[in-house]
Amino acid sequence: MNASEAATTGFRQEPTHAASSIVELLDVMWDHARNATAGTAAPGSTSQLRLMYVIDGEEGVRMRVVCHRLSSAPPTVTRMCDRLQAIGFLERLPCPDNGREITLRLTPAGREHLQRIRAQRDTMLHQAIENMTPGERGALAQGLAGLRAQLDPSAAPGDRLRATAGRNSAA
């Protein structure tokens, strides 16, 4: 590999390393937010919180869909659901069109718990972003929109095109 190829490879890897570093910092912040809002009945693991996010995103989601989205085996998800149901954050209901399947729904207490965590984490992010310059905030917004368009399979094709166009015009 010549110097030019090495520089190009390094340039392409730099955003990946930066994003990875930010994800690690955000993981710590989210864990802090979860612990800061935790009562004695709060979920004890990040996995349980992820489960709650999936269920919150789709009212009445089927258990098998949750297993797929979390890339977890059904017994693992069942145990997490047992814990969340025991503390009053989750309901399991029969699937309306298939009696052999279970659908999952957060209870009002579960939704309230997620809201407290999200508020804590939003406060932390808001403080950090407020300390950035307007140019940095604009670049962050554009970069995050592009990243989301690439990572989110449900993003509309137009979102992906806009993110790509924005990236190309910035070059």
Give tens-digit pLDDT for 72-92: 999 999 999 999 999 999 999
Q: What does the block give as tokens for 76? A: 């693992």
> Is-above-0.75 flag for pTM?
no
Q: Which residue has the tokens 């940095």?
A: 136
The yes-or-no verdict on residue 161 having pLDDT over 60 is no
d(CA 135, CA 171): 16
Residue 163 pLDDT level (bands cut at 50, 70, 90): very low
The yes-or-no verdict on residue 12 having pLDDT over 80 is no
Q: What is the pLDDT of residue 164?
A: 47
SS (H, E, C) the chain: CCHHHHHHHHHHHHHHHHHHHHHHHHHHHHHHHHHHHCCCCCCCCHHHHHHHHHHHHCCCEEHHHHHHHHCCCHHHHHHHHHHHHHCCCEEEEEECCEEEEEEEEECHHHHHHHHHHHHHHHHHHHHHHHCCCHHHHHHHHHHHHHHHHHHCCCCCHHHHHHHHHHHHHHC
d(CA 151, CA 145): 10
Q: What is the pLDDT of residue 4?
A: 54
What's the pLDDT tens digit per position in 96-151?
888 788 999 999 999 999 898 888 888 888 998 999 999 999 999 999 888 888 88
Degrees, nearest 5: CA angle 93-99-102: 35
What's the pLDDT tens digit per position in 27-78?
777 777 767 765 545 656 888 888 999 999 888 899 999 999 999 999 999 9
d(CA 108, CA 30): 21
Q: Among residues of the chain, what percentage have pLDDT more than 70?
A: 76
Ranked by mean pLDDT, which of 6-10, 108-112, 152-156 comes out on top?
A: 108-112
